[in-house]
Amino acid sequence: MAYIQAEKSRLFTHLFNSKVMNIKNIQAIKQRFGIIGISDKLNRAIDIARQVAGTDLTVLIVGESGTGKEIFPKVIHQYSARKHNNFIAVNCGAIPEGTIDSELFGHEKGSFTGAHESRKGYFEVANKGTIFLDEVADLPLSTQVRLLRVLETGEFIRVGSSKVQKTDVRVVAATNVNIQQAIKEKKFREDLFYRLNNVPITMPALRERAEDVLLLFRKFAGDFAERYRMPPITLEENAQHLLRAYRWPGNIRQLKNLTEQISVIEDSRVLTEAKLRKYLSYDEGDNLPAVYESVDAKTFASEREILYKILFDMKQDMNDLKKLVYEIMQADSGGINVHEKNAQIINKVYQSVDTFDDPKTDPSSQFQYTPTENAQIEDTEEFVEESLSLAEQEIELIRKALEKHNGKRKMAAEELGISERTLYRKIKEYNVK
């Protein structure tokens, strides 16, 4: 009986000491990397990162935008045996689709236009180190195949080369996208997901860390007070309750921006609930992670199909208009003089353009051509060679959309039926002024 009691006591002591040591390790990581919070979910994420750091397992960090996912790859790298080698962070969503393979895997001289010399890719530069692929769900499917090969065999091929090269890289990936939904929509490879997801780390949203909101607010308020040389903002009790109860759709990033706004704008250094409400938006919508929306039969599968349809519709309209003018000109004049004949042609063309549904706003109802005796009809027809280049048509449409909306990219992107990110990429790719 005494032996059993002794074993229980020894086991209890061991578990207690392990827990204390674990807490100390987590606290040391927080201090080193500036992580603020005491929630259990945050501590759990830090503990997983610490334990997996000593291995070479691939890690996938998931969580909403603004939760601080970018800190954990640094934790994993610094607590691994690779800490003395390169750490490279790559934002996959910020690299154009046409150059992503070259950026990741390198290219040979002359492999494409502008490749004046050979270049190493990130996987080659990060050999023996760690590479962080942020927004990994934005990778094109063709690049996902190349990445899967690197993860499985450690092999890659430069763009424009046939030589297989080896690399020893630890991969940490992150995304705010619902990967399972992306797999159903054929936007992300299922085999790549399971290869990346060796060890998942889930970053909790700020609304799941209510006990950390005030701690973060005080830290940000102190930082901004020091930066702008003013006393720090403090909150009344009711304002504190409001801050904790808010859902924070933008998470820590939103809280930081809000704290900076208040620190600069408010004259009073003590914030009331009424004043705080002015800075909080309650039109939150859906929270991230972002979900790929399904594409129905009436929705275009890609922006290129949209542009094709616009161009074909424009071409069909022009052909119909040319045909109408030709038929009118071939009709028998019936003895009408040339000026009256030309006037009839012009008026019929205006009346045939069905652009406005309301007759009151139809320009054809306000325009009527009347010939004069000495009127001279000049042949001003020009023959312009029609460009069949899709790139030129895309540039022209982008330019027109930007001019229409006075350079506002978000509204121009909605007009073109593409995302703002895609519009920004195409503006940069085509160098549209």
Phi/psi of residue 295, nearest 5 degrees: -105, 115
Q: Distance (Å, rounded) from C-alpha 360 to C-alpha 355? A: 12
Q: Distance (Å, rounded) from C-alpha 384 to C-alpha 404? A: 25
User: Which part of the chain has CATH 3.40.50.300?
Assistant: 21-202
pTM for the model: 0.63
Instruction: Read off the tokens for 29.
Output: 């990581």
Fold of 206-277: Helicase, Ruva Protein; domain 3 (1.10.8)
Burial group, residue 141, by CB count within 10 angstroms (0-12, 13-18, 19+): exposed
Q: Spell out the per-residue pLDDT of the chain, length 433, in tens.
A: 665 666 556 655 555 556 677 888 999 999 999 999 999 999 999 999 999 999 999 999 999 999 999 999 999 999 999 999 999 999 999 999 889 999 999 999 988 888 889 999 999 999 999 999 999 999 999 999 999 999 999 999 999 999 999 999 999 999 999 999 999 999 999 999 999 999 999 999 999 999 999 999 999 999 999 999 999 999 999 999 999 999 999 999 999 999 999 999 998 999 999 999 999 987 544 444 444 444 444 444 556 667 767 777 787 778 777 777 777 766 655 545 555 555 555 555 555 544 444 444 444 444 444 555 454 444 444 444 555 567 788 888 888 888 888 888 888 888 888 888 888 888 888 887 7
DSSP 119: B
What does the pLDDT look like over 155-177, one tens digit per residue?
A: 999 999 999 999 999 999 999 99
Please report the pLDDT score of residue 259 as a whole number: 96
Length of the chain: 433
Instruction: Read off the tokens for 292.
Output: 């790929």
User: Which part of the chain has CATH 1.10.8.60?
Assistant: 206-277
Whether 46 contacts 29, CB under 8 Å: yes
Q: Distance (Å, rounded) from C-alpha 74 to C-alpha 70? A: 8
21-202 falls under which CATH superfamily? Answer: P-loop containing nucleotide triphosphate hydrolases (3.40.50.300)
